[in-house]
Structure 1
Amino acid sequence: MLPHWLTHLGGLGLFAVAIFDSSPIPLPLPGSTDLLLLLLVSHHGNPFLLAACAITGSAIGGYITWSAGKKGGEALLQRSVPKRFRARIEHWTDNHSMLSVMVPALLPPPIPLTPFLLAAGALGVSRRRFLVSYNAARLIRYSLVSWAAVTYGRKVVSWWTKNLAEWSGVIGWSFAGLMVAGVIYGIWQYRRQTYDASGKRTMPQEAQA
């Protein structure tokens, strides 16, 4: 059977994971929401309720990231996104504003999501266009994951029982430790980047004074 800690997370836990997974402080394991949704539905969870929890939580986390990009502007984008990717992301966002949000929100890892959401906010993608494209993509993605769990759920549970059941405690505590460490590091990194970006915006004013 699936690990005890996992089945007791339920919809509320999935909702919280989905918020962090799409926020400026992402979880250390890419695709955590997809994995948790898949496992919970496979363990006889309500596919409609769980998909709704994942979609709603992801919508909140994504909006927070878009808002952070809008507030921090291009200075935050420069601090948060590696230089080798930034030019392509900015070009894609400038020329295909809705697709630049919808495509990475629809595709699974390793396609990164946070840089595109930050770019959407920083480069002026409107709230309406962002919400329509992002939420449509998440609706499609998590509906498909939930369907896959219903269709192939028994195989998932069987595979887990056969290969990983005896390691469920180790996996659970490792995941929890990584989650806590990732959130703490993410908060520190995000606060540092936001502070640096704010400092860069105020420097020209200070120089003029």
Structure 2
Amino acid sequence: YCLVAAWGEALGSLVPFYLGRAGGELFLMKKIDRARYEKLRDRFERQEFLAIMIPSVMAPPMPVKLFLLAAGVFEMRAISLFCAVFAGMFLRFSVLATITILYGPRIVQIIGSIVKAHPVIVLATAGVLVVLIAIQVVRKLLSRTKGVPLPVED
């Protein structure tokens, strides 16, 4: 399962990569400022493989698609990108599968007993989390920041 999932993620990563190749620099500059753009470019110039593999291993809040788009903008080789994403995702999925196999059934039992013993507290906590997430989403939508435009070169 880990091999198939990593293979699928690596194939799927080629879409934002080729979008970056086709003109993602303007899109990237709208999402991040000039300093972060320069930092990303320098990282790719020094360590292309690790610049893609490390975000691939990270948990879902990590903006992996931004790094894949940047890899296309900075003209990383497609086979290197594929291998980096495959290695990172395979490592991530292998760790998650191992944790699930070892601890999954016991965690389900513990959560089930907590829900049965304290349903009001669980529902109240879930409600508070939903409200906090909604507030965060609304704040993000209302305060979108634009990146710094590229300077005109002479």
Name the % identity.
22
- Mind listing any 5+ residue stretches in structure 2 that lack a counterpart? 138-149
* Residue equivalent to 1:146: 97
Moved more, 93-102 or 68-77: 68-77
Give the structure 1 partner of residue 29 of structure 2.
78
Alignment RMSD, CA only? Answer: 3.0
Q: Give the aligned partner of residue 12 of structure 1.
A: none
Following superposition, the deviation at residue 116 of structure 1 comes to 1.2
For residues 110 and 40 of structure 2, the distance between their equivalents in structure 1, rounded to whole angstroms, comes to 38
- The aligned length equals 125
For the pair shown, the structure with the greater C-alpha radius of gyration is 2
TM-score between the two structures when normalised by the length of structure 2:
0.66
User: Conserved in 2, the CA contact under 8 Å of 1:92 and 1:100?
Assistant: yes
Give the gaps of 5 or more residues in structure 1.
1-48, 183-199, 201-209
| Structure with greater contact order relative to length (CA < 8 Å, sep ≥ 6) | 2
TM-score (norm 1): 0.50
- Alignment of 1:117 with 2:44, yes or no, is no
Matches within 5 A, 1:1-209: 49=1, 51-52=2-3, 54-164=5-115
Given that residues 101 and 116 in structure 1 are in contact (C-alpha distance below 8 angstroms), is that contact kept between their aligned partners in structure 2? yes
Secondary structure at 1:156's aligned position in 2?
A: helix
| CA distance in structure 2 between the aligned counterparts of 1:114 and 1:121, rounded to whole angstroms | 11
